[in-house]
Structure formats: structure tokens, C-alpha cells
Amino acid sequence: MSKTANERKRDSRAARAQHLKDVGASEIKFTVYRSTREKLNFINKHVEVQDDCDTLTRIIHAVYDLIKRDMSHEQQLIKDIGE
């Protein structure tokens, strides 16, 4: 017997919830002001990504990789982030 649409949807939600648990996902919520939104839109456009969360994840990983690859960038990045 085939599953109903509701059963398929329930199974899909359960699978997604399990995936998020398996990868240790957590949610971060924050307010984005106009200037930040404009900069994020600019980055999204140039890296051809439309999802803000995907873009922010990529930025975090890129900064992490940059610092790990060349620790000389660490102090400048920390200074820039603190401004």
C-alpha cells in the first residue's frame, strides 16, 4: 500500500530532524541591519549564492581556513572583526 501525502511529509520531516541531529546542527538567529544586508546581498550576488545561511557558512569556513593556513592573518582579522 502506498503512503499518503501526510505520511510521506511526516517521514521527510523525521528524516530531516534526524539529519540535523546527526550533524550537530544548531540554529543562530540575529537581526541584520541595512548596511549588513547590503553587504550580504553584494556577497551573495558575486559568489552566486542566494541563501544567506549558506553564504555565512561559506564565509566562516573561508576565514577559518585562512587563519589556519597562515596564522599571520589572525591578528589582522581579529582587529578588523573588533572594529
The residue extents of the domains of the chain are 5-82
Residue type, 26: S
User: Which of 46, 47, 69, 71 lies closest to 58, judged by CA?
Assistant: 47
pLDDT of residue 6: 92
Give the tens place of pLDDT for each residue, 10-51. Answer: 999 999 999 999 999 999 999 999 999 999 999 999 999 989
pTM: predicted TM-score of the whole model, two decimal places = 0.68
Contact, 56 vs 72, CB < 8 A?
no
SS (H, E, C) the chain: CCCCHHHHHHHHHHHHHHHHHHCCCCCCCCCCCHHHHHHHHHHHHHHCCCCHHHHHHHHHHHHHHHHHHCHHHHHHHHHHHHC
